Structure 1
Amino acid sequence: MTTPRTIIEKIWDAHAVREETADAPAILYIDLHLVHEVTTPQAFAELRERNLPVRRPDRTLATLDHSTPTLPPNPDGSLPYDNAATAEQVATMERNCADFGITLHGFGSGQRGVVHVMGPELGATQPGMTIVCGDSHTATHGAFGALAFGIGTTEVGHVLATQCLLQQRPKTLAVTVNGTLPPNVGAKDLILHIIGRLGMDGGTGHVIEYRGEAIRALSMEGRMTLCNMSIEAGARAGLVAPDLATFDYLRGRPHAPQGAAFDAAVERWKTFTSDDGATFDRELIVDAADVAPTVTWGTNPGQVVAIDGIVPRADDALTQRALDYMQFHGDAPLLGEHVDVVFIGSCTNGRISDLREAAGVLRGRHVASHVRMLVVPGSDAVKRQAEAEGLHHIVRAAGAEWREPGCSMCIGMNGDRVAAGQLAVSTSNRNFEGRQGKGARTVLASPATAAAAAVAGVIADPRNYPPLPADTHEAAA
């Protein structure tokens, strides 16, 4: 009789070239290697030094996202890079891809974007795969039932050269979300709530499988948001078993199988679910009814509170440091706190559904006069779709900036930054000290909550800013 296995164990077992021993980690075959300009220069330099080729260029997906400017080109056609170093990063990536035979989804390709947005759009992300990238939020791709995780620069070189990676088998953690999420509560609120329950190190050493009725009800884009932030709970990765929503999303995408091959792939993909009776090392059960619009109050993603809740008092030095940095007070609400900047975008919330959510709040309203708001599509495809729907007109009419695709203000290495002391409400994934600029203060939130803050000029409850009816002439404006 076969021992029941989790989806995590099934994917691992299917890719272990050599199992882990007491003396050495396992060797894991990698199906898809995502690369961008920031974490690859040293890896390619190592290949040159050793005179090694890229083993599987066809399984290497390259784009430009972190260092790319989101402002339009200069009058002379040049790009407004933040500095010479970021321009050189992009130029180096372009040379490396050309020299090593890797197709680069760069400027002018129509497919450029944040790597964790454009990869799934192309259908390159598929159930049962192992996927890595020199970026901690590679867990995003787990939404498709893939084992996807971030790796270091040295490991990037290993995968380029061998298409394999040394890894230790992870532990398993089941997060089951029962019931139905309340109205106006989405995937970002849910994952912030879960991280708040687990804590920043609650998932250390584990891969999370998100399960339950509320998870199945999420769109694929919602599942990507959920899995994206698994790393913020300390987990190695997070995933959702594939289902009909997964297959419908992938059907017809350029890198997905086509025709009869797609139907055959679906039958194989259906096997990547946890068996009845499979056991996990740990489990967490969440009642979806308990989840409200949720934001961070501190300097890590585990320091969260419901939007209408009270910030905890400082009972230890770490909490006091976070409150001091954020200039918040314990035993006090966040509602009404002055906001300077709002950012909509990133690999967490830069997809078309996120932009629609924000535009729904902005439609017929205006950003507060003292607030700077950036709306940054996650990819060329998202930007095209948003503009076809007229979302850019709504954004601009509300007084916000409509930008070119890129990581933008998520990490602040491309010119899009929050000034020291300013408070940003951001749809990105990290609120560490200085993440969005030296001295910047960050509150993580959903697109609806961020847009509500932009309009109110203070941290606000999105439930008080319901979407207004669409103007039938928006798309034609």
Structure 2
Amino acid sequence: MNAMGESLFDKIWARHSLAEEGGKTLLYIDRVVVDDVRASQVLKNLDRRGLSIRRPDLAVVVMDHSVPSFPKLSAGSSAFIDAARAAARQHDLRLLDVGDAEQGISHVAAPETGFVLPGSTYLCVDSHAPTVGGLGALGLACGSSELEHVLATQAMWIRKPRQMRINLDGALGVGVCAKDVILHVIGQLGLEAARGMALEFAGRVVAAMPVEARFTLCNMAVELGARSCVIAPDETTFAWLAQHRLAPQGDLWNRAQGDWQGMRSDLDARFEADLTIDCTALAPQITWGTSPAQVAAISGHVPTAKEAGLDETSWQRAVTYIDLAPGAALAGTKIDRVFIGSCTNARLSDLESAAQVLAGRKVADHVTAVVVPGSRTVARLAQERGLRDLFMRAGFLWGEPGCSMCAGGGGEKVAPGERIVSTTNRNFENRQGPGVRTHLASPASAAAAAVMGQICDPRALLAKG
């Protein structure tokens, strides 16, 4: 009897499995990222327990959650930053500090430096750690106590999850991007579709995407409930990686690339769920409620409870909070703010997408628009290519690299009742501030909303040039 083929996830798992016990696997972790919010306490706890860091060379402390977007206007973040900085230096850990050339959001900075590679395992105390799956790496989130264990042992006990594959078929039209795809997928399948599973994205749409778009898919796979998410590395991946400083060099690169080419699911690999979604007719998407799954085409309307597939209580709570009437057109809804940033959509290609819409245009007078690059590398490249000047001429505020307004941080406050179009990954009640009404959308759609002062389809502006 022939052995069953392996998935990409199976192959990474097998390479990192150290032991099996009680239904769990002791999994070796290649790279560990410690963010500024947890660094001080986690490292103090290790000292208190008399534990040393097993591989300091494989860990990095990143300043992201507490970094003020506008330092001159912000206060209150310095305590976390100062404590994280002191803890990293005390333990001789690599530190991506505020102002450093490679500092940025964990899931943006780690891949773009080459710190994360295909087939590797990556751990971070942040639910969106699976973002790095866009490179073919296995990103896992954990709690602070588990992070202490991993820093001390370079391994973690984990139960191997069930697996799911989503094949994205067809081709995307102009003005439709990865954010629209993943919002559509979440809307179609729901928040529980991949609960606790290892998800793989595949298909023609994925193969045609640049690496940075793949990061967006894997980032928001978490909103499907996925424990992790991977996309098989290919020539697009290798070309992207070759540009980054910590990627292997010379003969080591050749050997690594040869190995990575086998990092894909076998044709006879089995998944507990194997779905196909046709994206050919997909239009730009935007959320209408208080969940990433409450989403529709921008050209659509606020659904009834029946149309949304929700119970009356949940639906009523969502439309009451977001303050939109059932049947109301989404396009034309007046907004107050726009935010372009976060680990979902703050890479160079995201800024380029928004810039295509903004070129030669101005932000509406009543709109406050903010753009925060995902890393200092992104900020530097954006400046070199004239994007920073373009955004600022259009009327955007340009912030310092970090997580910023994703969870209402960064020092930029949104008033209760204000409506914001945001490129972040979550739109729960009060996520971006008490009473703030968040609509998730792509960078292009956010830029279009900033210009028009209302929710609108970016394709209309792109067509005008």
Q: Show the counterpart of 2:309.
A: none
Q: Show the counterpart of 1:294.
A: 285
Report how far residue 88 of structure 1 moved: 1.1
Q: Show the counterpart of 1:10.
A: 11
Aligned with 2:189 (options 198, 201, 208):
198
- Supply the distance in 1 between the matched residues of 2:234 and 2:279 (Cα, whole angstroms): 20
- Supply the distance in 1 between the matched residues of 2:240 and 2:198 (Cα, whole angstroms): 24
Q: Show the counterpart of 2:172.
A: 181
Amino acid in structure 2 at the alignment position of 1:11:
I
* Map 1:293-442 → 2, pairs under 5 A: 293-315=284-306, 316-442=312-438
Does structure 1 retain, via aligned residues, the 8 Å contact 2:39–2:61?
no
C-alpha offsets along residues 192-219 of structure 1, whole Å, 9 cap, x if unaligned? Answer: 0111112011110211100001100000
Structure 2, gaps ≥5 residues long: 307-311
| Number of residue-to-residue matches in the alignment | 459
State the Cα RMSD in Å: 1.3
User: TM-score of the superposition, structure 1-length normalised?
Assistant: 0.94
- Supply the distance in 2 between the matched residues of 1:155 and 1:371 (Cα, whole angstroms): 43
Where 2:222 maps in the other structure, the secondary structure is helix
Does structure 2 retain, via aligned residues, the 8 Å contact 1:359–1:394?
yes
Q: Show the counterpart of 2:129.
A: 138
Q: Percent identity?
A: 44
Does structure 1 retain, via aligned residues, the 8 Å contact 2:136–2:233?
yes
The answer to whether structure 1 residue 253 and structure 2 residue 254 are counterparts is: no
* Map 1:84-123 → 2, pairs under 5 A: 86-123=77-114
C-alpha offsets along residues 140-187 of structure 1, whole Å, 9 cap, x if unaligned? Answer: 100011111211111111111111111110111100011111221100
- Supply the distance in 1 between the matched residues of 2:81 and 2:221 (Cα, whole angstroms): 28
User: TM-score of the superposition, structure 2-length normalised?
Assistant: 0.96
Report how far residue 319 of structure 1 moved: 1.1
Where 2:61 maps in the other structure, the secondary structure is strand
C-alpha offsets along residues 383-422 of structure 1, whole Å, 9 cap, x if unaligned? Answer: 1111111111111111111121111111113312321100
C-alpha offsets along residues 442-470 of structure 1, whole Å, 9 cap, x if unaligned? Answer: 0000000000000111111111111776x
Aligned with 2:254 (options 245, 251, 263):
263
Q: Show the counterpart of 1:44.
A: 43
- Supply the distance in 2 between the matched residues of 1:156 and 1:115 (Cα, whole angstroms): 15
Q: Show the counterpart of 1:64.
A: 63
Aligned with 1:82 (options 75, 90, 114):
75
- Supply the distance in 1 between the matched residues of 2:241 and 2:335 (Cα, whole angstroms): 39
The answer to whether structure 1 residue 152 and structure 2 residue 148 are counterparts is: no
Amino acid in structure 2 at the alignment position of 1:19:
E
Where 2:270 maps in the other structure, the secondary structure is coil
Does structure 1 retain, via aligned residues, the 8 Å contact 2:36–2:64?
yes
- Supply the distance in 2 between the matched residues of 1:358 and 1:271 (Cα, whole angstroms): 35
Where 2:184 maps in the other structure, the secondary structure is helix
Does structure 2 retain, via aligned residues, the 8 Å contact 1:364–1:468?
no
Report how far residue 435 of structure 1 moved: 0.9
- Supply the distance in 1 between the matched residues of 2:196 and 2:81 (Cα, whole angstroms): 34
Does structure 2 retain, via aligned residues, the 8 Å contact 1:116–1:141?
yes
Distance 1:467 1:96, change over 3 A: farther
Where 1:235 maps in the other structure, the secondary structure is coil
- Supply the distance in 1 between the matched residues of 2:173 and 2:387 (Cα, whole angstroms): 26
Aligned with 1:213 (options 201, 204, 219):
204
Where 1:286 maps in the other structure, the secondary structure is strand
Report how far residue 290 of structure 1 moved: 3.3
Stretch moving more, 306-315 or 192-201: 306-315
